[in-house]
A and B are shown apart, each in its own frame.
Chain A
Amino acid sequence: EVQLVESGGNLVQPGGSLRLSCAASGFAFSRYAMSWVRQAPGKGLQWVSAMSATGGSTYFADSLKGRFTISRDNSMNTLYLQMNSLRAEDTAVYYCAKVKDSSTWYEGGFDNWGQGTLVTVSS
């Protein structure tokens, strides 16, 4: 059974930093691209960032470039999201999601999601 477990969400002040983790199990983690998708309270879904299976390529939403960094440790089956210069509008539940098709980083949709971790940016 595929499991994705996010952690690291917390209350942080504007301008602060946070690192999220996503521990994966139940599938060949090193074969799949992974994404982060967020959902602000009461709002819809917004794709944030993705990393290819090998870690050689990264992708970001334009609005987040320069503030967020994505990385992965295939030996630990873990995906990370480093978030810097956090703003109130970054407040959201952050989900990690596995791409369905191992040959691409986004086609075919996201077939497995974690339970999410809440990031609150507030003074």
Chain B
Amino acid sequence: DIQMTQSPSSLSAFVGDRVTITCRAGQSISTYLNWYQQKPGKAPKLLIYAASTLESGVPSRFSGSGSGTDFTLTISSLQPEDFATYYCQQSYGTPPTFGQGTKVGIK
């Protein structure tokens, strides 16, 4: 299985801050990397697929980059509704595997 490691595991930020979350794959996965947002008690929501393509309806303050083994999710200006847990997921090899999550909290 391809191991996915996110950092940090949690962070605190102010509204308006720029936030970056990192995801590292245990082997090269090209750009087969997806990002999800999950709020408490809710299902995950796809934000970005293929490393950098914004899912329809997702605000443009979210962006993704990277290829190979290193990827980032950036929120350019954190909004109150962005406080949530974020997961990366590789779709290069089977089984699909997720990172452990990064919880973004209010500072």
Contact = CB atoms under 8 A, between A and B. Distances in A.
Interface of A: 35, 44-47, 59, 61-62, 95, 100, 106-111, 113-116
Interface of B: 1, 32, 34, 36, 38, 42-46, 49-50, 55, 87, 89, 91, 94-101
Contacts of B101: 44-45
Contacts of A47: 95-98
B46 A110 contact: yes
B45 A46 contact: no
Contact of A100 (B1, B46, B94, B95): B46
Contact of B89 (A45, A59, A61, A114): A45
Contact of A44 (B46, B91, B98): B98
B94 A108 contact: no
A44 B50 contact: no
A107 B42 CA distance: 23
Contact of B96 (A95, A106, A113, A116): A106
Contacts of B36: 45, 109
A47 B87 CA distance: 13
Nearest to A59: B94
Contacts of A62: 1, 95
A6 to B, nearest CB: 10
